[in-house]
Amino acid sequence: MKNTQQSKLVLIIGFFCCLFLVSCHKQSKSETETTVGDFKVPETIPLQFTDPEPFEWETITNDTLTTPVFYDLNVDALPSKPFEFNEFKPLETPMKEYDLDWENFPVEKLKLDSASFTVTKSTIKKPTITKMKPPANMAGTNVNLLQLSTNEGLPSNDITSFLETEDGGIWIGSSMNNTPLTYYDGENALVYDYPGVYKMTFDQQGKLWLVSPGPNLLTVLDFINNTAYTITKTASFIPFDILCDHTGTLYIISDSEGIYKMDSEMKSLQKISNIGRNKPFKLFEDSKDNLWLGFIDGLAVLNKERTEIKTISIIANLEINSVVYEFKEDAQNGIWLSYPYPNPDTKTTPSILRIALDKNKVSVLGEENGYTIKGDNMEFDSDDNLWIFGPREAYILSANRNASKKIKLNAKREESLKIPTPLKRKDGSLWIASTDNGVIIANEFTLQTEYFDTTRGLIDDQVWEIEEDSKGELWLGTAAGINIIDLNKNTIKT
- pLDDT (tens digit per residue) in 32-75: 556 666 677 888 899 999 999 999 898 888 777 788 899 888 98
Decide if pLDDT at 84 tops 50: yes
Decide if pLDDT at 473 tops 60: yes
Cα torsion at 270, 274, 276, 282 (round to 10°)?
-30
Which residues, listed in sequence order, are joined to residue 341 by a DSSP beta bridge?
Answer: none
DSSP one-letter string for 402-455: SEEEEEE--S---BTTB----EE-TTS-EEEE-SSS-EEEE-TTGGG-----GG
Residues 6 or more apart whose Cβ sits within 8 Å of residue 185 = 169
15-29, 391-405, 407-421, 452-466: least confidently modelled range:
15-29
Q: Give phi and psi for 209, each to the nearest 5.
A: -100, 130
Decide if pLDDT at 29 tops 60: no
CATH fold for domain 375-493: Methylamine Dehydrogenase; Chain H (2.130.10)
Which tops the pLDDT comparison, 172 or 344?
A: 172
Amino acid identity of residue 96, one-letter, is: K
Decide if pLDDT at 4 tops 70: no
Decide if pLDDT at 165 tops 70: yes
Q: What is the pLDDT of residues 255-290, one digit of tens each?
A: 888 999 999 999 999 999 987 666 899 999 999 999
Q: What is the pLDDT of residues 449-470, one digit of tens each?
A: 988 889 888 999 999 999 999 9
